Amino acid sequence: MNNLGVICHCSLIIIFAKTCILKFKHALFLTFLILLIDQALKIYIKTSYHMGQENVLFQSIPWLRFHFIENEGMAYGWKLGGDWGKIALTVFRLVAVGFGTYYILDIIKKKYHVGYIICVTFIYAGAIGNLIDSLFYGMVFEASDPYLQNLAHGIWQNGFQGGYAGFLHGKVVDMLYMPIIEDAYFPTWFPLWGGESFMFFRPVFNVADASISGGVFAILIFQSRFFPSVEAPKVPTQETETPTE
């Protein structure tokens, strides 16, 4: 996750925490908003870009790009092997989303810090976003072939002839690419990688990945505010009446 994304997530969390008392309907609205952005961008990229196509979004920011790839696994292209690995990951996501619903309801009921609830909601929404790809994209889109460089159609465009895979076997669409540092080299004295080329930031990700990463980073950054330590009360002893912890 890049620094700009973390700053945006943290700023949003601070604003919400200072201005509202969060209820479950607010968490649902935030989840829906993240999913709307995530899915709208994925559908646009899937149907408008061929596999591997890359475009710079702003000439003044050459490292901010769309680069269309698909992956069968976890965030940032990590994956488990084979069909069973794919099914296991999708089932895990289903269980995680089910638990996430219960957990958000629980922490709202227990009046946890608003900022923490927002962070958990970001993670929850990101998990649902990638789960939607895994569950349904194989059924509703044609395959994006890296050799044919075709634009994939939705089944509503091909007479409902079916997609490229069955239920649970959809691929996750990634498109956000931010190689801030390119064509750079480690200095020769650098341990292990001295003289070798490197790039930062290499992974291609999506809005759901960014939502998950931003939520996790924000929890780590603000954990002392979300979970303030409670000082033990001091009580006097019976013998000396001296306060002790």
Catalytic residue among 83, 106, 174, 183: 174
Q: What is the pLDDT of residue 235?
A: 60
What string of DSSP letters covers 109-159? HTT--HHHHHHHHHHHHHHHHHHHIIIIIHHHB----TTTTPPPPBTTTTT
**19 has a pLDDT exceeding 70:** no
Residue 82 half-sphere exposure toward CB, CA atoms < 13 A? 3
Q: Is residue 183 annotated as part of the catalytic site, yes or no?
A: no
Q: How confident is the model at residue 1 (pLDDT cuts 50, 70, 90)?
A: very low
Between CA 31 and CA 29 the distance in angstroms is: 5
Give yes or no for residue 78 having a pLDDT over 70.
no
Q: For residues 227 and 164, give the distance between their C-alpha atoms in angstroms, rounded to a whole number.
A: 46
The model's confidence at residue 158, banded by pLDDT at 50, 70 and 90, is: confident
The confidence score (pLDDT) of residue 87 equals: 76
- Tell whether the model's pLDDT for residue 227 goes beyond 60: yes
Catalytic residue among 38, 145, 183, 209: 209
Convert 70-106 to b/e letters by CB count within 10 Å (16 or more is b): bbbbbbbbeeeeeeeebeebbeebbebeeebbeebee
The C-alpha atoms of residue 177 and residue 210 are separated, in whole angstroms, by: 12
Q: How far, in Å, are 9, 137, 150, 165, 170 from residue 155 at the CA level?
A: 35, 10, 15, 12, 14
Tell me how far apart the alpha carbons of residues 65 and 55 are, in angstroms, rounded to a whole number.
6
Entry pTM = 0.79
Tell me, yes or no, if 174 is annotated catalytic.
yes
For residue range 170-220, what is the model confidence (pLDDT) as tens digits? Answer: 999 999 999 998 888 888 888 888 888 888 888 999 999 999 999 999 999
Please write the tens of the pLDDT for every residue from 99-142: 999 999 999 999 899 999 999 999 999 999 999 999 999 999 99
